[in-house]
Amino acid sequence: MIILGIETSTRTGSVAIVEEEKIIAEYTLNIKETHTSRLMPAIDHILKDAQLTIHQMDAVAVSLGPGSFTGLRIGVATAKGLCLALRKPLIGIPTLDAFAHNICYTSHLICPLLDARREEVYTAIYRYRLPIGRHELEKLTDDMVLPLEELLSQIDHSTIFVGDVFDGYRSLVEKEMQGKASFAPPNLSLPRAANVAVLGLRKLKSDEESDLREIAPLYVRRPEAEVKWKEKHQK
């Protein structure tokens, strides 16, 4: 089986093609250009470089969020459109689940962090089930959006933090964790479409494809525009 993976939850756009457990190709671009203008060209580019066609994809896996509301809408809408046109299965993968898979072979907790703005982060906490080499991550919490200080107050074990929000938060993490925190290197600190595709393939093999009519982004909280509209009209 060959899976196309799409990841647009942050400004880092990523697409990948995975066949079974082999990554055929992955394209990642961490720039400010919108996903609207670069997602479809990226898909076209990676297919051409891999000498494949979109019709050879057995399914599409897409990152559902949490993350950028606009990015998630673009990614999910593109994936749904492709699957409707091709009559292929669609598999939705929670962004933090795929992100946590950047880290492997550890007995520490794993905590992916995405910037949620408003001085908050999107996060969840994971650990590998024993034996660690089985690659089975256990999700210990639901997806959360909360201030980093509140998150850190809930963690009392050695933890690997993975994410691209450390410029403003690293000193706080180090202070609050008191030697129990470590940080993923830059090459592991961005969401990857290859992880989305690999997890999508596992779900497809387990007959867990998503319902095209019901699949939607996982926002975790309401979009800011909706919050402001309700605040304005409730006065």
* Neighbour-count burial of 161, counting CB atoms closer than 10 A to its CB (0-12 exposed, 13-18 middle, 19+ buried): buried
Would you state the structure tokens that stand for residue 127, as one six-digit string?
């650990």
Nearest-angstrom CA–CA distance, 155 and 5: 32
Q: Which residues contact 131 (CB under 8 A, 6 or more apart)?
A: none
DSSP string for residues in 174-222: HHHHTT-EEE--GGGSS--HHHHHHHHHHHHHTT-PBPTTT-----SS-
Instruction: Assess contact for 59 and 87: CB atoms under 8 A.
Output: no
Spell out the per-residue pLDDT of the chain, length 235, in tens: 999 999 999 999 999 999 987 999 999 998 878 898 999 999 999 999 999 999 999 999 999 999 999 999 999 999 999 999 999 999 999 999 999 999 988 999 999 999 998 889 999 999 998 765 566 899 999 999 999 999 999 999 999 999 977 677 888 999 999 999 999 999 999 999 999 999 999 999 998 888 888 999 999 976 554 444 445 545 5
Q: Name the nearest CA neighbour of 35 among 59, 1, 4, 69.
A: 69
Asked whether the bond before 131 is cis by omega within 30 degrees of 0, the reply is yes
Cα radius of gyration rounded to whole Å, the chain: 18
Q: Name the nearest CA neighbour of 43 among 26, 59, 31.
A: 26
CB count, 10 Å around CB of 219?
18
